[in-house]
Structure 1
């Protein structure tokens, strides 16, 4: 991780202070015109980012009448780092070199001295000194542009990677949709048909009621599967709304349609966050499903109340009256409930009761999730 650069204002103040120190060492205070031009050039550096060419012109007066070089060279560097016009930069460097080379006042210039070796060496040195900030500024500008290009390339690659991942995900969803439609939906349809036939052909009232429940749940599951298939197939092409999320208002219907003898007891405020309502609904749904699978013949009690700023949902079932039939399970239900509760700042606890039943309790903070 690269260190953070100081703010631009701090850098400008530091550069202006360095230029003022240069003026202090090279300009005689008693020479008021020279001191005034030198101070003007040093203070003009505060404008170098917004008006680089104007700043350079103002600092030329410093180079003309004094030996201070910090202000004009800093202005020339800033101009070259912000300007792409190379002819203008070459002209500015040449003007600065000429002004720095010629003595002040110009009336003291002796043409015969220009041909001397020392003066030619001085002219070469001055030209090199003027070219150095231009080359350095152009190098910084090229580095800045290269960084921007690299950032654009990185962004383009990230976008391409995202598109590739979305394409792969869309293919997997399409394959999953086909499997759900061809296998799962077909089998659930057969269950519904067989349950309907059993409901019509059976003479036992209890058997007909059980068959009706199986048929109703199969039809409901089939509708949800078809909606999920449509969502998966439409993924990546157009927005598709998911099935409306359940709330506490749907708990009564959930308990009635659970297929077991269950009682619902609630004492809740009128308004609760939607996330809390969904967590309670899914917890009760998972608990009732587990009772139906693992405790045949048991009864359940669902208690939901609000106290001490928290919401408590408890599902307790009695001991089973029949042996449970082994059913396939991924064992992800309770783990998913615990993860959902942790995201909301709550917890899920579960375990057997002293009477041989089972109890699952959800605790959620209400105020935190508003």
Structure 2
């Protein structure tokens, strides 16, 4: 990949023409001619105004072209005017005025009869016109290049905006399709589960079965409520802000463990000022771990320990070995991956693996200082 050439600093570009015009004055103007020297120095000083008042600068440098051979200041002023102005008729007139001033001899009182036609030939006039045209063409070229760069930047910005709109449109379609699938398939099946659980609860005399049916029905109804809200969030498709359901906190851990459907012991030793994102991370980790115990380790018991070790928060969920074979259930195997990603966003880690007694353990570690720093960025993580 070719490296871009380095540009000269802006201050150097402003000072360099003034220095060159001073050298031009020193080389072509005799210091004994005070009037000529004054006009030449005025032309040099006028260049400091060329970016703000390009036409005025050009007019102030014209006398130097007429009374001296130091024409560089006028050429610089003409170039600056051409690079900033789109008025081509004005530029053509300025170029002609410069050429006439450069062509005309000075002082007029010392011009002898017939000297004009002999010394100022057509070749000299053509040279003056060419000298005047060069800075005009160069200035127009620089102006066109600058405008082209601006247009390219605008086109790039428009394309980026169009790409974002296209991505948002595709995302909105995917969200709408997902909402339809959740409403038509998942919600329908969960409704059937709730109905069947209610029928089981009402149609049996066994107390254990009735309690299990009630628990299934309660969880099914809760799942339906969450599904309906998620469908409304997905259908919004980013057009208007939607409020998420109340997010869980550490105060909900006891209810989570009690309703997990397994025998579990909860022990918590935590401060009360933990950020909401940290509380949600702990809750989701315990929730996912207990769900996996219920799915993959039937008959096992679990212990949930949440506490602080110096500046690190730890949430450990450990279960014993299963007492019976697990039923094959569908799983996308994304639960632990999601927990690790959530922990990484808060600067922590999640480790998991089998224990020596045949059980399984999930361990969440969050540095409290890092979690507090990430709180504002990840506050919308559910």
Whether the TM-score (by the shorter chain) exceeds 0.5 is: yes
**Any idea what SS the aligned residue of 2:121 has?**
helix
What's 1:48 paired with? 50
What's 1:15 paired with? 17
**Shift of residue 194, structure 1, vs aligned partner:** 0.5
What TM-score do the two structures reach when normalised by structure 2?
Answer: 0.89
**Shift of residue 110, structure 1, vs aligned partner:** 4.5
**Any idea what SS the aligned residue of 2:185 has?**
helix
Does residue 1:328 correspond to 2:330, yes or no? yes
Q: Within 2, Cα distance between the matches of 1:16 and 1:29?
A: 19
Deviations 1:86-119 (A, max 9, x none): 2221222122212222233232344633434852
> Contact 2:285 / 2:339 at 8 angstroms: preserved in 1?
yes
What's 2:209 paired with? 207
Once the two structures are overlaid, the 10-residue window that deviates more, 118-127 or 27-36, is 27-36
> Contact 1:101 / 1:126 at 8 angstroms: preserved in 2?
yes
Deviations 1:159-197 (A, max 9, x none): 233323322322222222111111111001000111111
Q: Alpha carbons of 1:27 and 1:246: their partners in 2 closer, same or farther (altered >3 Å)?
A: farther
Does residue 1:293 correspond to 2:306, yes or no? no
Q: Within 2, Cα distance between the matches of 1:55 and 1:325?
A: 90
> Contact 1:341 / 1:348 at 8 angstroms: preserved in 2?
yes
Does residue 1:338 correspond to 2:340, yes or no? yes
What's 2:78 paired with? 76
Write the mapping of 1:92-107 to structure 2, written as runs, cut at 5 A: 92-107=94-109
Q: 1:312 aligns with which of 311, 314, 328?
A: 314
Does residue 1:160 correspond to 2:162, yes or no? yes
Once the two structures are overlaid, the 10-residue window that deviates more, 156-165 or 313-322, is 156-165
Deviations 1:237-271 (A, max 9, x none): 33322323333333233222222222222222222
> Contact 1:113 / 1:119 at 8 angstroms: preserved in 2?
no
Q: Within 2, Cα distance between the matches of 1:30 and 1:270?
A: 90
> Contact 1:102 / 1:109 at 8 angstroms: preserved in 2?
no
**Any idea what SS the aligned residue of 1:364 has?**
strand
**Shift of residue 122, structure 1, vs aligned partner:** 0.9
- Aligned residues, how many? 370
Q: Within 2, Cα distance between the matches of 1:241 and 1:315?
A: 31
**Any idea what SS the aligned residue of 2:151 has?**
helix
Once the two structures are overlaid, the 10-residue window that deviates more, 141-150 or 219-228, is 141-150
Q: Within 1, Cα distance between the matches of 2:148 and 2:52?
A: 22
**Any idea what SS the aligned residue of 2:300 has?**
coil
**Shift of residue 152, structure 1, vs aligned partner:** 2.3
RMSD across aligned positions (CA): 2.1
Once the two structures are overlaid, the 10-residue window that deviates more, 154-163 or 359-368, is 154-163
> Contact 1:81 / 1:140 at 8 angstroms: preserved in 2?
yes
Write the mapping of 1:190-205 to structure 2, written as runs, cut at 5 A: 190-205=192-207
Does residue 1:369 correspond to 2:344, yes or no? no
